[in-house]
Structure 1
Amino acid sequence: MSGKRDSSLSDRARQLLAAERDCVEPAPLKARALARAQESLLAQRLSEVALRSAPWWTFQRRATRVRVGVTAAALGLAGLAAAGSRLMADPPPLAYGSHLALAAVSVAPPVAPALPARTSLLVEPPPASSPSASASASASARSEAPLRRVLPPARPSSARQYALELELLEPARRAIATGSYGAALEAVGRHEQAFPNGQLAEERSALRVRALWASGRRTEARAAAARFNLRYPRSGLLTWLREPGPSAP
């Protein structure tokens, strides 16, 4: 009786193995089913060998244990075969590589997701430059900058300046000699504008007093003479004005 059950279970296991060999997808389930079937066959063969060599009073107990183990293995294979047939009948819309990936994910132990690396929001300050580096940088900047030297305006030489002043004041002298006092005052003004502190500034002031006095502008002439005496107290160009009853030469 027990020999018939064992043979029937062995045939059932062989049928499941044959059905699993015909399945194409999924590969991980097929591999597990084949491994389970091979383990059950190996266990069955080992139990048969053990039963043959064991005493008769242990035969009944061990045969019962073997039948229970083989029955559990057969039921597991049947469940795997049914699951494989359902997957074959209604596969999800994924590629073959996706089946393998899903099977690998289902079999592999769960792995904790890697935490993203924390990005630091602190901005590192620029490296402090040494005093020597700052000094060299400023020195190079000064060397690269164009050399500009502010030069004072060129002054003519004393002899040349004297000639220029004399050229401007000579028309005033001639104008006073000819009685053109207005022209004399204009020449005096041009000289004062060109050389306000020139070498002939004393002569220019004296010519102004003469032109004003001769033209009848006595009040202006006396004011100009007072300024002249304050600036040139030792000058003798206005001695004619100090004499009684002065008259412009």
Structure 2
Amino acid sequence: MKTNSLFYHLLQNFPSVFFELIGHPQIETSGYEFQSVEIKDTNQRIDGIFIPAKRTRQPIYFVGVQSQFDEDFYYRFFTQIFLYLEQNKSNRDWFAVAVYPRRLIESVVPRPYQWLVESDHIKRLYLDELGLIANQSLGLGMLKLLVEDEAKAQQRAEYLIHQIQQLNPSKEQANLADLLTTILAYKFPLLGIQELTKMFELSNLKQSKLYQEAKTEGKLETVPLLLELGLSVERIAQELHLDLVQVKEAAKELAGQETTLE
């Protein structure tokens, strides 16, 4: 589930990565909004959907990330898609992408859906098979990092750090440094964030004027993800150099949103 959260967090902040992943990097992502959408009266939720602007004719993209074996995944995935289309009376074209860390995790496609999976409306992707394409952008490199073993993860992280350092000063550089640190914290759970920054020389990025001037609101946006990864509010406040009250308020707001969804 942590892989899922990190994947969706990456798409939320850098939607262009999704279109690179499916081989359509030329699509203008500003015309899309990435959301987790509740299906009314069903107690179901589509974890990832790229919703196009109303005045465009662009298709809808549904995203399903499956980090562990689940024989009911395709039943649930297609049910959610068609319920969404019915409830929203959508007349748009649509495409669905199922993402797996590796091919072995995928369940057998149920016979009623085989024709759909074999159509051009469905794409199945395996992160460990990205190959050289993972070197084409920071976003794809981040995705590949999610499934690398420890030795390769260190090599890829160092390569990504070098790429981040080559960016022109911008808020994106700080955001990417934050995201990379979060992924590394997941990959190396026995190491603290301070140890990770020292291990991979991320401190060079964090000590930059740009990073120091990053808005507190930007840091608070990472609180829900860090809570989901198992960090305490005290640990998050310490690592992000935030006031404990601010972190507790962010955690309380998250809990309120989950209660509303239930």
TM-score of the pair, normalised by structure 2: 0.19
Question: More strand per residue: 1 or 2?
Answer: 2
**Bigger radius of gyration:** 1
TM-score of the pair, normalised by structure 1: 0.19
